[in-house]
Chain A
């Protein structure tokens, strides 16, 4: 075990995500009061400590609009990330990262200019603003003269003990405990790798409409991966959990469940077979199978693709796309979920968006550019990986509402097909609509029963076709707690997904094919 190095709370802070989380919670709960007392040359909220004043923001927005853009915003971010990793029995590596920077965006119609800097000075911000301003070519517009701070903001991140209060020793105890439990669970376990991350990110968005929004966004993830050996063969599998929560998230029950899940899902691989190749009915288990929705419809409903007319869903709003018992939602309101958000990265409050209501396509996922293009309100989907990037429409937590069927009834209905239970990744081609997801664990279904386990198989389908072919939906909706990260145009953002047990009547399973006659 590690010795207690006698770190004082304060020294851990800088290295820990927590510095933010602490100040964030203390300051931001009272953010309106803080602002009420500030004048133009005093520090603004959390970023006051970095010399950010109302005057600096105002000047930056003026430079941003100096060539006549329609709209401009600045996005400040201070992001502290801590990782611990365990390999070969010891928590023997720590990674700490601090990102501090600001991005300036200028919008003119559908066009975007973007610049960012890590140099938070008048000069640094002016240069970033002028870079972004170049998207427009006209007479200067004036920026806001007064700012209003958003004070009615939801609080979806249940942080009781700030990450800075957590000494490294407390995290080490959890990690070494998890390692020991995993080895004890089964003598075939030969290697255990653990990764633990906590992150605090404070953002401030100020825009040319005079709006200022601040949010402190925590995140934690735990990754557990094992290698097992049996009769000279090896198999590996992994499990992870993620939440916008504090250390209390890692309850003994949750950690035990991770151990059980990773051990069971690995050991079963020794008996697993490759499923046959070709088209067949597929039953998607409740929870992580939400990846189907993310790929088959979620991306295609991001409004930027539709505004550009390149999504397979570009002309389908108001049209039936699925059976009447299929309703699909994207939202950010689930407390502590990885995909939860109080506000998006354009400062809009995040709510709930119906993508498909009773089988009919209802709404795209908008950022402010696409909302303006379509003449609708932004849906709070304007997200970015960090200050280095301009926002775009992204998912939050995407899931399907429960339906009229039962899980057992769905499995019993399949004569020959597969049941997909655990997944690693997926991808979609937005325009053609073709999408894939990779099944790590599942079962053959033969004569209405789960039979042989299957492993490592990719499934490929076409979004709108598969939506139409979802012909049974159970009542057992489950939101997956995995650490999913969605990638688009080189930006990764945390998301959640979920689904009840559903049946797709036919889809291509990429098993091993035999040569035909």
Chain B
């Protein structure tokens, strides 16, 4: 089929509902989407790779005689779509009943924020691949130009942009659409170490709008500095010690807590936070709000994937667990009111100090700058992850460390949080500040 315009995409979503109903579905929800992606990699003086695409498709939830199926396709040729929907309805009929499946209560569709979330850059289409190339070259040259550059082996810088559009309709009265743009730049630098290792590090920045993007040469310089700071990394000793987690890395840790807050985990007995609503489960310095209405933020939205109107919600207040993430299905299974089944942006109650000040306070510690591998058991709370970072001595960053590991149990670990920084990481929806834990277990030599 030829190019589709907005009107066509909303019409496709609506026609999917009609086709689903005539195929025998009692209820249905349909989302048509279109995503434009542009990316460019620039390596060691020339463009390494360019890629551009516009992808689109539809995704449907079908409620058929007390049964449920989910179907998605990128084949939007009208005949193919009709056959696909007929088959998907037939497939739903062939499986077992599930009394908990239903569309959301339409009352939850109401009350969408009227704020302008500013998620789309009106000048998106004016940013050409050539602009991306210029920015990538600027990052690359800045990284190559730093002091100590003779150790640099390779610099790859990247630019990417996208425009995401959704059109959603349900058979019980929801109709809505959203659009959002994003621009990201990143630089990755590798350097040769004396012992044959080739450590690499990166830095990145992102923005909903092109004009809000951080200075690309600063990104290049930071990537190169981060890499050179890794030279000579060694294992440090096994010990229980004070650990600081860099604001860029902390999202991984809070994400592990998030899994235990999901309706699925709770209902399937896979959450160490089951039955803990209203109890103090983490350090009293933790207050976090899930806020979907932060202007220009990456996790912002006016309605969630079910169409439920998005509202800010307190998750932790002074260390007390105040809310779970509950979608319609698990809400019905758990007899709980749906909130939303997914995180948006996390807004932390921040501390007063910068990372530098927190390092000075910690004196003797480990600063974790990234995690590698590892896993977390959402049922028991046990976790174990590889860490990369620096030893902190006399309150300042000392030698780089690698090949180490952080282990614990979330129910104990988060109570050991003694400080948070004033520096929420702006390029992720987790918006984590620097975190300081005391007396946690780190394995090395």
Contacts and interface: CB of A to CB of B under 8 A. Distances in A.
Given A311-B198, A508-B443, A172 B96 contact: yes
Interface of A: 1-2, 4-5, 7, 11-16, 82, 84, 87-88, 90-101, 110-119, 121, 123, 128, 131-132, 134-135, 167-169, 172, 190-191, 193, 227, 229, 234-236, 274, 277-279, 295, 308-312, 314-315, 388, 390, 424-438, 455-462, 464, 508-516
Given A93-B69, A114-B49, A310-B198, 18 more contacts: A2-B94, A98-B74, A118-B56, A118-B57, A131-B53, A135-B49, A168-B91, A190-B269, A191-B268, A277-B441, A428-B372, A430-B200, A438-B373, A460-B405, A508-B235, A508-B404, A508-B444, A511-B441
Contacts of B404: 460, 508, 510
Nearest to B53: A116
B172 interface: no
A93 B50 CA distance: 39
A433 B377 contact: no
B149 interface: no
Given A135-B50, A431-B190, A457 B439 contact: no
A17 B208 CA distance: 38
Interface in B17-73: 43, 46-57, 67-73
B95 interface: yes
B6 interface: no
A96 B2 contact: no
Given A92-B96, A121-B1, A436-B374, A310 B87 contact: no
B24 to A, nearest CB: 10
Contacts of A432: 193, 197-200, 230, 233, 402
Contacts of A16: 87, 91
A96 B386 contact: no
B425 interface: no
B124 interface: no
30 contacts: A5-B93, A5-B94, A7-B94, A11-B90, A12-B90, A16-B87, A84-B95, A90-B98, A93-B98, A96-B72, A96-B87, A97-B71, A99-B73, A101-B74, A114-B50, A119-B1, A121-B2, A131-B50, A132-B50, A227-B270, A236-B377, A295-B373, A427-B372, A428-B372, A429-B372, A432-B233, A435-B373, A436-B386, A460-B386, A460-B403
Contacts of B238: 277-278, 513, 516
Given A92-B97, A426-B373, A516 B239 contact: yes
Contacts of B153: 309-310
A432 B43 CA distance: 19
A261 to B, nearest CB: 18
Contact of B84 (A14, A167, A455, A510): A14
A310 B190 contact: yes
B379 A234 contact: yes
A113 B51 CA distance: 6
Contacts of B90: 5, 7, 11-12, 15
Contacts of B394: none
B213 interface: no
A4 B388 CA distance: 55
B383 interface: yes
A315 B196 CA distance: 9
Contacts of B76: 118
Interface of B: 1-3, 43, 46-57, 67-76, 83-84, 86-88, 90-98, 101, 129, 153-154, 156, 190, 193, 196-200, 230, 233, 235, 237-241, 268-270, 333, 372-375, 377, 379-380, 382-386, 388, 402-408, 439, 441-445
Contacts of A464: 196
B68 A235 contact: no
Contacts of B407: 274, 277, 457-458, 510-513
A90 B443 contact: no
B87 A118 contact: no
A308 B217 CA distance: 22
A11 B377 contact: no
B94 A511 contact: no
Contacts of B97: 90, 92
Contacts of A135: 47, 49-50
B86 A512 contact: no
B91 A512 contact: no
A4 B52 CA distance: 46
Given A87-B268, A112-B48, A435-B373, A100 B445 contact: no
B70 A94 contact: yes
A431 B227 CA distance: 11
A132 B199 CA distance: 32
A388 B75 contact: no
Given A426-B373, A438-B375, A12 B405 contact: no
B51 A390 contact: yes
A508 B87 contact: no
Contacts of B373: 295, 425-428, 435-438, 458, 460
Contact of B98 (A92, A167, A169): A92
A279 B445 CA distance: 5
A300 to B, nearest CB: 10
A429 B200 contact: yes
Instruction: Identify which of A92, A111, A121, A168 gathers the most chain B CB atoms within 10 Å of its CB.
Output: A92
Contact of A118 (B75, B86, B270): B75
Contacts of A279: 444-445
B443 A513 contact: yes
Contacts of A117: 53-54
Given A277-B238, A308-B43, A95 B70 contact: yes
Contacts of B50: 112-114, 131-132, 134-135
B72 A11 contact: no
Nearest to B39: A114
Given A309-B154, A458-B386, A508-B404, A11 B87 contact: yes
Nearest to B198: A431
A68 to B, nearest CB: 14
Contact of B375 (A167, A172, A425): A425
Contacts of B55: 101, 116, 118, 388
A509 B154 contact: no
A95 B441 contact: no
A277 B91 contact: no
A234 B380 contact: yes
A167 B240 CA distance: 57
A312 B47 CA distance: 24
A111 B49 contact: yes
Contacts of A92: 67-68, 95-98, 101
B239 A515 contact: yes
A498 to B, nearest CB: 20
Closest 10 CB pairs of A and B: A510-B405, A436-B373, A427-B373, A277-B443, A15-B87, A92-B98, A14-B87, A431-B198, A515-B240, A458-B384
Nearest to A228: B269
A393 B91 CA distance: 37
A515 B439 contact: yes
Instruction: Identify which of A96, A99, A508, A515 gathers the most chain B CB atoms within 10 Å of its CB.
Output: A96
Given A96-B69, A278-B444, A14 B48 contact: no
